[in-house]
Amino acid sequence: MRGCDVALLGLIEVGLACSGRANSNTLPPELQVLGAPSQTLDVKFPLSSPPYAVNVQPGGTLQASDTVDAPEADVGPLSKHGSNLFVFMMVDPDINTTHPTYVGLHTMVANLTPYNENGAASHSSHPFTTVATYIAPEPPAGEFHDYTLLAFHQPPHFSIPAKYASYVATTPTSPLNRINFPLQQFIADTNLGPVVAANWFKEGSA
Ligand SMILES: *[C@@H]1O[C@H](CO)[C@@H](O)[C@H](O)[C@H]1NC(C)=O
């Protein structure tokens, strides 16, 4: 079982992660620049058939069929830190191997609030704002990419500066406009502060 990192993986990923890639739980490259988050972000991808959702495990491997629909982040465990609103992103730091903070932007959501205690609330019932619509992973054949899920406290008056409008847009040529999104500069320009919680997975083919 060497290289399988079984302890970190949910049952669903066991077997998929045994491709011989070492260090599958290593922090993705952009987080090595931004700094390790103190908490793991609870994220799941909804599925249309049983088991109806797949939970992201740090460094785990997912299949394309797991990530068709937009990820859902549970920011409830983070809300004790103050702000009740969060900004959530999914990015690909492996599109630019020399500048890992120039990421591919797969989605950005603002005004995300904690789930209800009763568990009845679904992601769609929350008044979150989709800033950048979800684009599923499209790793080039023969490559595995990291996909990182990030949560930030949303600062007051958060908005998207005009110079980033082209990056968050959804256009007929998307995802080309989402490439080389300057994440670190965006964080500085919008006062997002440190990554509060993160999670990540790998997807691709050997
Ligand atoms: C990586 O990002 C840097 C900084 O924006 C850019 O100059 C370079 O062209 C990018 N590389 C690729 C392969 O896109």
Per-residue pLDDT of the chain (206 residues; tens, 9 = 90+): 333 333 333 333 333 333 333 344 589 999 999 999 989 999 999 999 999 999 999 999 999 999 999 999 999 888 865 558 999 999 999 999 999 999 999 999 999 998 544 444 444 455 799 999 999 999 999 999 999 999 999 999 999 999 999 999 999 999 999 999 999 999 999 999 999 999 999 999 98
Going from the Cα of 127 to the center of ligand 1, the distance in angstroms, rounded, reads: 35
CA 164 to ligand 1 centroid distance, Å: 16
CA distance 113 to 18: 36
Expressed in angstroms and rounded, the spacing between residue 116 Cα and the centre of ligand 1 is 41
* CA pair distance 143, 32, nearest whole angstrom: 20
**CA triple 53-37-149, angle to 5 deg:** 35
What pLDDT was estimated at residue 105? 98
CA angle in degrees (0–180, nearest 5) for 183-189-193: 75
- Tell me whether strands 39-40 and 197-204 are parallel, antiparallel or unpaired: parallel
Does the Cβ of 102 fall within 6 Å of ligand 1?
Answer: yes
Q: What is the pLDDT of residue 136?
A: 97
The predicted structure's pLDDT at residue 114: 82
Residue 206: per-residue pLDDT:
84
Collapse the DSSP code of 23 into the 3-class scheme (helix H, G, I; strand E, B; otherwise coil) and give the result: coil
Instruction: Record the tokens describing residue 12, joined without a space.
Output: 């669903």
Rounded to whole angstroms, how far apart are CA atoms 72 and 124?
A: 9
Question: What pTM, to 2 d.p., does this model score?
Answer: 0.84
CATH superfamily of the domain spanning 6-204: PEBP-like (3.90.280.10)
Separation of alpha carbons 92 and 178, rounded Å: 10
133: tokens are: 């619509």
Q: Report the alpha-carbon angle 150-156-195, nearest 5.
A: 20
Give pLDDT, residue 34: 95
